[in-house]
């Protein structure tokens, strides 16, 4: 039975590029075949439970603006109402997946035993709804940043009792994810960092964080969880400095603690921007090392210095992100999670639907552009041409030589290279043909 919250909004349909309907897909056609695979299977869309249903519309200067019947989120009755509304929205949008933190789906009880009890109760309830709807869990995670107990970190906290509470919390969330058939488990450490080095033993904190993540991997194998374990980079906010700064930092951390074959990355557009990178840079970094797991799709306001988590609307940015994803073979267990929230003034139920429709369309448009570039082969041909010199026998043998041998060759052959154009503008113009 419909709740009435979505005011009888009908299921969103694909109507094509000429549609003027704000609640119709113009580019996202789930059954359209792109590079031999259905569009839905390429993109693997997921709704973020925290932004779409748990967020109340507050900001640092004002309280909630989104008056929802399931707010405040302080009892199990409202938690179940929230789940009912969520699955109504999944049905309207045709969403194949969703993602959650434990604190999004159950009320905070203040102690571990009651948090565990309510988590088990609500995931049983969600599991029943999943069987009916067919919508699956892309990933689960633990919120270890909102409650005051986490103010000094979770696995990096100076208090070992907080470390213990964090370990138990993650165990419960992995168990819940496993029970619901989740395809990944994510750890994002918003408080795993520091506000000041004056009170921080960085070496000890990094070691504790590394051991904690090894415990997670050990437990995954113990219970037979087949999904991927993912970590999510972000340089700051809420902490002044977070240890999972960006993709390269995470990869170095994983290698230091022997986790490079066990853990991959969940990359977010907004976090890439905060780290001073583009999204395609972070994706290319991860794919170069075989460590791309999944993505959180959103955007930041480039006039603001914080993580605004807006829905994507920039086709060129999205196309280049999917270009690198497709070039690496596409998602396996990962997908496209909309870690994005409607604006504080967008208070209607229709706004929530329209935001996802627009985001899904932009991603579909970007995917089609990325696939067209790959099939055309122009960028790959330009790369092959630029690096062609390295395919010669002399160039390859140089890599196994020493400085003395290379210097002798430079003198003997009178090597005096001249610069060659990087052709950046030509390549940018090429990309613009597709987007």
Catalytic positions: 101, 104
User: Helix or strand or coil: residue 53?
Assistant: helix
Distance CA 114, CA 220 (A): 23
> 297 to each of 101, 318, 408, 429, how far by Cα in Å?
17, 9, 51, 25
Residue pair 291/259 in contact by the 8 Å Cβ criterion: no
> 327 to each of 44, 295, 348, 358, how far by Cα in Å?
17, 15, 39, 25
Q: For 97-125, b where at least 16 C-beta lie within 10 A, e where not — what string?
A: bbbbbbbbbbbeeeeeeebbebbeebbeb
HSE (CB half, 13 Å, CA atoms) of 340? Answer: 30
Closest CA to 186 of 268, 252, 131, 72: 268
Q: How big is the CA angle at 143 (ends 140 and 146), to the nearest 5 degrees?
A: 160
Q: Where are the alpha helices (DSSP H) in 134-265?
A: 160-179, 202-223, 247-256
């Amino acid at each position: 039975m419909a709740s009435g919250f979505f005011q009888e909004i009908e299921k969103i349909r694909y109507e094509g590029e000429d549609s003027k309907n704000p609640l119709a897909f113009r580019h996202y056609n789930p059954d359209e075949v792109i590079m031999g695979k259905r569009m839905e299977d390429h993109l693997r869309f997921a709704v973020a439970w925290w932004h779409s249903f748990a967020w109340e519309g507050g900001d640092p200067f004002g309280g909630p603006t989104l008056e929802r019947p399931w707010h405040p989120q302080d009892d199990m009755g409202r938690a179940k109402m929230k789940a009912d509304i969520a699955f109504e929205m999944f049905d309207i949008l045709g969403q194949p997946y969703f993602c959650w933190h434990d604190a999004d789906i159950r009320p905070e009880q203040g102690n571990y035993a009651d948090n565990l009890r309510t988590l088990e109760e609500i995931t049983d309830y969600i599991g029943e709804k999943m069987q009916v709807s067919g919508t699956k869990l892309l990933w689960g995670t633990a919120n270890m940043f909102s409650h005051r107990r986490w103010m000094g970190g979770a696995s990096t906290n100076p208090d070992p009792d907080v470390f213990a509470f964090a370990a138990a919390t993650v165990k419960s969330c992995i168990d819940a994810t496993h029970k619901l058939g989740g395809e990944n488990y994510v750890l994002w450490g918003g408080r795993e960092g520091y506000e000041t080095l004056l009170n921080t033993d960085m070496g000890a904190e990094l070691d504790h964080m590394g051991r904690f993540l090894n415990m997670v991997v050990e437990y995954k194998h113990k219970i037979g969880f087949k999904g991927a374990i993912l970590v999510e980079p972000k340089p700051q906010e809420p902490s002044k400095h977070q240890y999972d700064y960006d993709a390269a930092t995470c990869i170095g951390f994983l290698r230091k603690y022997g986790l490079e074959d066990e853990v991959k990355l969940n990359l977010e557009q907004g976090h890439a921007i905060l780290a001073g990178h583009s999204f395609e840079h972070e994706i290319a970094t991860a794919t170069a090392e075989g460590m791309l797991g999944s993505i959180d799709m959103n955007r930041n306001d480039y006039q603001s210095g914080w993580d605004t988590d807006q829905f994507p609307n920039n086709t060129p940015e999205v196309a280049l992100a999917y270009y690198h994803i497709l070039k690496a073979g596409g998602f396996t267990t990962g997908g496209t999670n909309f870690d994005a929230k409607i604006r504080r003034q967008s208070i209607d139920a229709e706004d929530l639907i329209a935001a996802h429709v627009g985001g899904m369309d932009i991603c579909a448009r970007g995917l089609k552009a990325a696939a067209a570039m790959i099939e055309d082969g122009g960028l790959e041909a330009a790369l092959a041409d630029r690096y062609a010199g390295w395919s010669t026998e002399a160039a390859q043998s140089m890599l196994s030589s020493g400085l003395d041998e290379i210097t002798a060759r430079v003198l003997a052959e009178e090597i005096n290279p001249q610069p060659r154009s990087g052709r950046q503008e030509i390549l940018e113009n090429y990309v613009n043909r597709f987007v």
